[in-house]
Structures are given as C-alpha cells and as structure tokens.
Amino acid sequence: MSFDLTAHRRGLVVAPAGCGKTQTIVDALKRGVAGVTLVLTHTNAGVSALRERLKKAGVPSGAYRLVTIDGWALRLVANFPQLSGLVVAGLPKIDYPALRKAALKAVVSGALDQPVAATYQRLIVDEYQDCCLDQHALVLALADRLPCCVLGDPLQRIFDFRPGSLPDWDTRVAVDFPVVETFAEPWRWRNAGERDFGLWILRVRDELLAGRGLDLRSAPSNVTWRQKPADANELANAQRDAVLRLKPSAGEGLLVIGDSRRPSTRSDFARKTAGLHVVEPVDLNDFMGAAAELESCRGLERLKATLRVTKEVMTGIDMTALGKRLDSLHRGTAHNSATASEAACLAMLADDGPAAAARVIEAFAREPGARIFRRQIMTAMIDALHRAASKGVSVTEAAIHVRERHRATARALPNRAVGSTLLLKGLEAEHAIILDADDMNARHLYVAISRASKSLTLFSSSNVIRPR
C-alpha cells in the first residue's frame, strides 16, 4: 500500500470495511519514522486487537503508545487534577463526559504543550466515526499540537445511541479534518480471492451512502437471498436451516447476525441451533445479573439460581425432572444413585458457598447431553464463584473483577457465532448470515454485509432492500 499516514499534518482517511485501515496504521508505524506515535482508539478490545497486529508485524513497542481515548484522558486527568479541574483518584465510578471535558481543559491550558510535543511525534485516531462530541474536541485540541490523522467510515457509525451526541460527519469531522484519502481497494476480499465480491460491497456502500437501497438482483454469486416466510415459525426454521446447511471448510468462520435490540432472541437461536455460540457484550450484563441474583439468596433458592444460570448457558437441563430426582434422592427413595451433577446439587444444599455453586455448573457442563452455547458467561461465572470462595469476597465483587479482566482482553471469536452488528463490528469471518435485513438502517446493513469475505446469506422480504 502506498498511502502514507505520516505524510499528512492533519487529515481524515475514509476507510470502508476491509480496505486496509489497520494495515495502514501498521505500515505507518513500521516505516520507522522518528519519535513516538500516539495511537488512540475506542475500546479495550480494539486496543488489544491492534496491539496484536502491531506485534505480529514486528513494530517495536517503543514506536507507539496505544490506548483508548478515554484511557488516555483518564491518565491525563489523574496526573494533573489541578490543570484538569477534576479529581478522579478514589472515585468509585468514572463520569466519562466529565472526564473528557476535564482532559480537554488540561490540554487547552497550554501547560502541557511542551511535554506533549516531547512525548509524541504524531497522533493517529482509529474508528473515528465512533468519537462523540467531547472526544472530537479533545482530539482536535491535540491536533493543534501534533500532526494528526484520523481514520474512520461514516457508514460504520452505529454507536449513535443518543441523537446529537456525535459530531456531524460532513459538517464537523470532515471540515476539522480534511479528507486526504478514501480507500477503494477491498483488500480483505482480494486476499480471500473474492475481489469482485468486495467491489460489489463497496458499490453497495456508495448506494447506501447516497440514500438508495440495496438491490440483491445484481449481486455476485457469493450472495444468497432468502425470502422471509410470513409465518414466524417457518422463518425460524428457515433461519436454522440456513445455518445448518452452511458447511464452512476447516478454519473458516461463520457469523450469524441477529437482532441488535433483543439479545434474548439471539441466545434462543443459539440454544436451538447446534454448533452456534453467543457473542456477549463487553459489559456482560447477563453475567452480572446472574451474579447479583446468586448473591442475594441462600440455600435452596441459591441452588435454584445456580440452575437457572446453568440452564441459560447450556442445553440438556430439564428442571422439572431434576426437581423430582433431587427430591427422591433427598428422601432416599430413588432407585438409581445420583449422577455427578445431581450429587453436586445435593452437596450445594448442604453447603451453599460459591465454590459449591461453581461445582454444580461444572458438573452439568460435563454431562454428555450438555451443549454449551454461552461459554463466555459460563466461564466467567465459574471464575467469579471460585474467586469469591478463594479470596473471601462477595460474588458481585468477584464478578466485577472478572468482567474488568475480560474487558481488557481481545475477544476470541467462536468459530460459529451469533451476535449483532454492534457486537460484531470490526470482526470478520468467511461467511455471514443476516437473520433479518428488513429491520436494519443503512449503516447497520452495511456493517452486516461487510462482515463476510466469501459468502453472505440474507433474509429479507424483498430482494431490493430499502433500509429504514
């Protein structure tokens, strides 16, 4: 790739999905330009993924400092409470909007101009479409002090939960950072031997950007359109059928893109579809909820709560039958001796400590009929319970610790995963299935179709999709 990020004093690089954005950053740092480059992105997962890439490319770690925007702001504010007007030390919870404003205050004070210039040679900000107004202001302030290039794609802007929280792309972002390059080569598809598929996705992107629809009639053979049956059961069967029929070759992955607003429909789909695993949000809400529930009760209630979370992450548990068995085992009237999982349940009735709860989940996971489809939640729960037992802390405290550790590590994607555009953005696989394309706006639709490098299956009511 010939484009050189470091050649521009200030600029915006428009980078559609799969067009070598990350590689451009790697190349910029690999060029061995003098000084340290500050690389900012949005999520800890993004930091981990980029760090991994840089390491693999052999970029010396001294050539860059890689951190989230908020992480950088937090360190700055913590180091200069007076300059920033905010004391974060000892706060139980970080007020991010206040944090960003405080960091901005410290930077524009001018007090740190010399250290900033001495520390960093230039600034690169990734995933710029996800910058909120305050983050944009902070990056702009830094751009007044350092050469700065930002990379992003307005059509991948899907984290716009509150209207007006993001700077307008055309009138703000592209004005403050003039466009210096728009990538147009679909490297991801080209590398997979599917350049035409990639070019089609780029054409679709243009159409969607222009406010027009997605016409599947002109799609290459990589794309399969499945018309949604009117009946909900039939739709569910067809969706399941599409997943089961897809037989990726070894090493290939499949992403199933479900409803971004109703996580439960996705876990239901995974429960009923062999081989699928659920991609969890970074805040692991379901896990935290289950941990709180476990902590709130004792004895039999706690066993029930443990069984509920077990049932939530794996198949093969019949609560009614289990209840009867436990009852007869307890009274000594059972014909068959207790299975390992039943024994664990009985043990927990005698001692309801967190370690016993962990052993219940572990025992059920080992049962031959069990298929675990929310492994991340299960592992986190077992970790948290063991941690609570060994450290003598509450289950909730242990859960927070486990979640924070999880937040900081790169997401390892299951081979066949079900998630949503919000969860799968930035991730990629050879194959993708969009369970219902009717329900998506243009940006969600673009993020969804650009996940797959080889085959894409869409369910929609028409072969010409007009996004909301």
Footprint of another protein on this chain (CB under 8 A)? 65, 75-76, 78-83, 89, 109-116, 118-120
Q: In the bound complex, what is the minimum distance in angstroms from residue 118's beta carbon to another protein?
A: 4
82 vs 296, beta carbon nearer another protein: 82
Q: Rounded CA gap, 213 and 442, in Å?
A: 8
Q: Residue 65 CB, nearest distance to another protein (Å)?
A: 6
Shortest distance in whole angstroms from residue 87 CB to another protein = 10
DSSP structure string for 14-25? E--TTSSHHHHH
| Interacting residues of 264 by C-beta distance below 8 A, sequence separation 6+ | none
User: What are 452's two structure tokens?
Assistant: 């797959």
- Minimum distance between the CB of residue 11 and another protein, rounded to whole angstroms? 24
Query: Would the CA dihedral through 43, 410, 148, 115 be positive or negative?
Result: positive
Percent helix, strand, coil in the chain (nearest 5)? 50, 15, 35
Structure tokens at 353: 């400590």
Toward another protein, which CB reaches closer, 117 or 464?
117
What backbone phi and psi angles, to 5 degrees, belong to 346? -65, -40
Task: Pick the closer one to another protein by CB: 113 or 241.
Answer: 113
Nearest distance from C-beta of residue 47 to another protein, angstroms: 14
Q: Which is nearer to another protein, 106 or 377 (CB)?
A: 106
Query: Of 146 and 307, which CB lies nearer to another protein in the complex structure?
Result: 146
Q: What is the largest CA-CA distance in the chain?
A: 81
The sheet carrying 10-14 orders its strands as 64-68, 37-41, 122-125, 148-152, 10-14, 179-182
Which CB sits closer to another protein, 1 or 111?
A: 111
Pair of tokens at residue 154: 């307005």
Q: Supply the minimum distance, in Å, between the C-beta of residue 90 and another protein.
A: 9
